[in-house]
Amino acid sequence: MWNGFYAQHCGGGPLHERLFRGAGVQQRHLAVNPLVEDVSQWSTGRRMRRYVTEALPLGKEAVAAALADAGLAADDVGMFAVASCTGYATPGIDIRTAAALGMAADVQRLVVGHMGCYAAVPALGAVGDYATARGRPAVLLCLELTSLHAQPPTDDTGQVVAHALFGDAAAAVVVEPGRGAGLELVDVAAVTDPGTADHMTWDITDLGFRMELSAGVPAVLGRHVAPAVTRLLSRHGLQTSDVDAWAVHPGGPRILDTVAEHLDLPSDALDASRRVLAERGNCSSATVLLVLDALRSAGRPGAGAYAVVLAFGPGLTLYAALLRAR
């Protein structure tokens, strides 16, 4: 796609091409293909209208698949949460998807907006709390259409990296009360470094949402990831060596390298994250659910073993979840 669109869009040149190709993304799924339809000059309003058009069928398909996998009907759902930072509408995708699937009129809904790439983890915590407190199933949908936010032509290196990394995805997960098969949500933890809030921003402009990424993000993450994971695990008498699977949000190759280095992980520990980055790109909040699905397909974590979910985003914020396979 560099030669087909982005070389011209990003000003060309060997530096920009090296940055683009170094993002670790080999292919992506995009709701809006820039080779067919260039949205970079569209107003934000026009992009939001397109978001609704594209998001509803994708969200419906993802939630329906998750419910079928869990053996549940749509009207069994007590809470439906939607996480997205790439589109807004009222009535929202939560209402529209719930209605399209036939969820009950009294289903409780929650929208987690503009938290960025880590949103899946606090949203997972919220639906998990609901399922535990109310004794009813809950569903989380993470739906991101980053392709709608292609920015006008520029040779800004930060924009080259953003254009190289991000892809679109919809992923859903069902959380049920009780002790059935699957992954148990054991704990959730967070840490925010507000002094580095300018390192990662997602600004609403007249021409869509604009991502700004600082080259200093991996260094900040490196200061926090090991202490945060240690605190989470120690609350349950665990160490990193007790973790069988790592579902780490692939914000980019340097992010994954930083996590692996500071947690002293085996060389293959983040293979699922690297594979999702290569095959899907960074799909914001949906990505870590895609990594979990890849691990699950590979039989990880094994029965009775633990997994740690890690995701990072604006703030700078790190969110972590501890899961156990039943």
Amino acid 53: pLDDT: 97
Domain termination residue (choose one: 110, 140, 175): 175
- Same domain membership, residue 195 and residue 67: no
- The string over 28-43, giving b where at least 16 C-beta atoms fall within 10 Å of a residue's C-beta and e elsewhere, is bebbbebeeeebbebe
Q: Known catalytic residue: 117?
A: yes
Domain that holds residue 293: 183-325
- Those residues whose C-beta lies under 8 Å from the C-beta of residue 90, and which sit 6 or more positions away, are none
Which residue of the set 10, 85, 117, 283 is catalytic?
Answer: 117
**Residues 161 and 231 occupy one common structural domain:** no
Residue at which a domain ends, from 175, 193, 208: 175
pLDDT grade for 5, boundaries at 50, 70 and 90:
confident
Q: Based on the fold, state whether residues 154 and 205 are members of the same structural domain.
A: no
**Total domains in the fold of the chain:** 2
Q: Which residue has the tokens 């609704």?
A: 52
Q: Which residues of 83-105 are buried (b: 16+ CB within 10 A; e: fewer)?
A: bbbbbbeeebbbbbbbebbebee
Q: Which long-range contacts (CB under 8 A, 24 or more apart) does 193-202 make?
A: 193/220, 193/223, 193/224, 193/315, 193/316, 193/317, 194/315, 196/220, 196/315, 196/316, 197/314, 197/315, 197/316, 199/316, 200/116, 200/313, 200/314, 200/315, 200/316, 201/314, 202/85, 202/114, 202/116, 202/314
Same domain for 25 and 146, yes or no, is yes
Residue 4 has pLDDT above 80, yes or no: no
Q: Cα–Cα distance between 111 and 93 in angstroms, integer?
A: 9
Residues 146 and 220 in one domain: no
Give the pairing type, strands 317-325 and 183-192.
Answer: antiparallel
Closest to 68 (Cα-Cα) out of 172, 183, 179, 180: 172
- Sequence-distant (6+) residues with CB within 8 A of 215 are none
In a shared domain, residues 79 and 127:
yes
Q: How many residues does the chain have?
A: 326
Of 196-200, 224-228, 242-246, 276-280, minimum mean pLDDT range: 196-200
| Angle at the Cα of 131 from the Cα atoms of 116 and 74, rounded to 5 degrees | 85
What CATH number is attached to the domain comprising 281? 3.40.47.10
Residue-wise pLDDT for 284-293, tens only, equals: 999 999 999 9
Which of 6-10, 73-77, 263-267 has the least mean pLDDT? 6-10
- 1: pLDDT strictly greater than 80: no
Residue by residue, DSSP assigns 46-58 as: HHHHHHHHHHHHH
Q: Determine if the peptide bond prior to 322 is cis (ω within 30°).
A: no
Shared domain check, 202 and 317? yes
Residue 30 and residue 168 in one domain: yes
**Same domain membership, residue 30 and residue 117:** yes
pLDDT at 93 > cutoff 90: yes
Region 9-38: mean pLDDT is 89
The chain-wide mean pLDDT, for the chain, equals 95
Residue at which a domain ends, from 124, 156, 175: 175
What is the mean predicted confidence (pLDDT) over 121-135?
A: 97
Residue 10 is predicted with a pLDDT of 82
Tell me the pLDDT tens digit for each residue of 173-188. 999 998 778 999 999 9
Do 146 and 280 lie in one domain? The reply is no
Span 282-308, average pLDDT: 97
* pLDDT mean over 115-124: 97
pLDDT given at position 16? 85
| pLDDT single digits (tens) 220-231 | 999 999 999 999
291 conformational bin, left if phi > 0, alpha if psi -120 to 50, beta if neither: alpha
Query: Are 158 and 190 contained in the same domain?
Result: no
The conformation of residue 198, written as its DSSP 8-state character, comes to G
Kindly report which listed range (17-31, 45-59, 241-255) carries the lowest average pLDDT score.
Answer: 17-31
pTM attached to this predicted model: 0.95
Pair (263, 128) in one structural domain = no
